[in-house]
A and B are shown apart, each in its own frame.
Chain A
């Protein structure tokens, strides 16, 4: 009995370490992709410093949700966090992109870029992400509710 409890505790630790490692790898890969993208987008960031700030805020919030989601993998919270992550992307796109029209001043020249079509596509894709997260939650709940044969 004592041996079984010790084995369960070891399994529990092993699972947590595995989840933590997975979360770290995912978070690092995600941040690495962002880092590469920032190098590529450096000229744009110099023109639009507020855009860089906004993307950094998004990256921090998304990475926290991603890591938290991985750490709670296999539980109901994982699915809640997945839905929250997808909804956060939708909310971020709507609120931060200023209706898809970006304006900035280059000395006396005012430049306006209309990203509405791209933004609409991104919001639709984010809604697909929400739908996927909801489907995963429904699937998880239904699997848990399935009657087990005695």
Chain B
């Protein structure tokens, strides 16, 4: 029995030494790992999507190999709904190696504004969740996560459409059509300029089309828009209340028709 006990003692001691040395060297390898981030750049892609570009340099001066190095970015709104996510995986960074990568995340403005219309009209606080994960020596998973809040400016903030105003009686040969004005106002709080067209369809309280109008939009970021849109309206169908169908088509997004009620 003494031989068995001695054998167990020796094996146990050797395994403890190996385990402690392995764990300590893996942890100290992490100390010698350098991850450097470049300046965050933004660009507009071919389909008008915003692309966030983050250059990353990984330098492994430790004793252990780094595997499954993953950078993951997720942008969520105030209701914790994911607007976009993207990840970049580096399968392996050997000892003494350095790797340069570019982490890219695409943000589809058009798609997001169509599915989450509150981002179109209301400013919000978006959250960027950044996660870096890796495996030290193929055995010890390490993860670092960071949350950054950033403001989202609505492109059509405080969007209001006034009631249709008919200024004069129809001319004799106009077939009952008159020129009306509809006041449209909003503030562009977005980080991009709005260049495009606003289409307006006016319906009366019986859902009958009264008239249509359109105007070109050229609203730089952080500026307001207050204009009267000319509408050709059929005088017989004009009522004190009803609704508008508003469509906005710009180079960055297209939304509509949005139903906006009116009452004079």
Contact = CB atoms under 8 A, between A and B. Distances in A.
Contact of A117 (B5, B16, B139): B139
Nearest to B16: A125
DSSP class of B's interface residues: helix, strand, loop or mixed?
Answer: helix
B31 A43 contact: yes
A109 B131 CA distance: 10
Given A122-B19, A135-B1, A110 B140 contact: no
A29 interface: no
Contacts of A118: 19, 22-23, 139-140
B12 A125 contact: yes
A110 to B, nearest CB: 5
A132 B140 contact: no
Given A125-B19, A132-B5, A139-B5, A111 B12 contact: no
Nearest to B31: A43
Contacts of B147: 108
Given A109-B146, A113-B142, A121 B4 contact: no
A74 to B, nearest CB: 15
Chain B interface residue count: which class? 20 to 34
A135 B145 contact: no
Contacts of B140: 113-115, 117-118
B12 A108 contact: no
Interface in B14-43: 15-16, 19, 22-24, 27, 31
A61 interface: no
B144 A109 contact: yes
Contacts of B9: 132
Given A112-B142, A117-B140, A139-B5, A128 B31 contact: no
B259 interface: no
A139 B15 CA distance: 24
21 contacts: A40-B24, A44-B27, A109-B145, A110-B144, A111-B143, A112-B142, A113-B140, A113-B142, A117-B140, A118-B19, A118-B23, A118-B140, A122-B19, A125-B12, A125-B15, A128-B12, A135-B4, A135-B8, A136-B5, A139-B1, A139-B5
Interface of A: 40-41, 43-44, 108-115, 117-118, 121-122, 125, 128-129, 131-132, 135-136, 138-139, 142
Given A44-B27, A109-B146, 19 more contacts: A40-B24, A43-B31, A108-B146, A108-B148, A109-B145, A110-B145, A111-B142, A111-B144, A112-B144, A112-B145, A113-B27, A114-B143, A115-B140, A118-B22, A125-B16, A125-B19, A128-B15, A129-B12, A142-B1
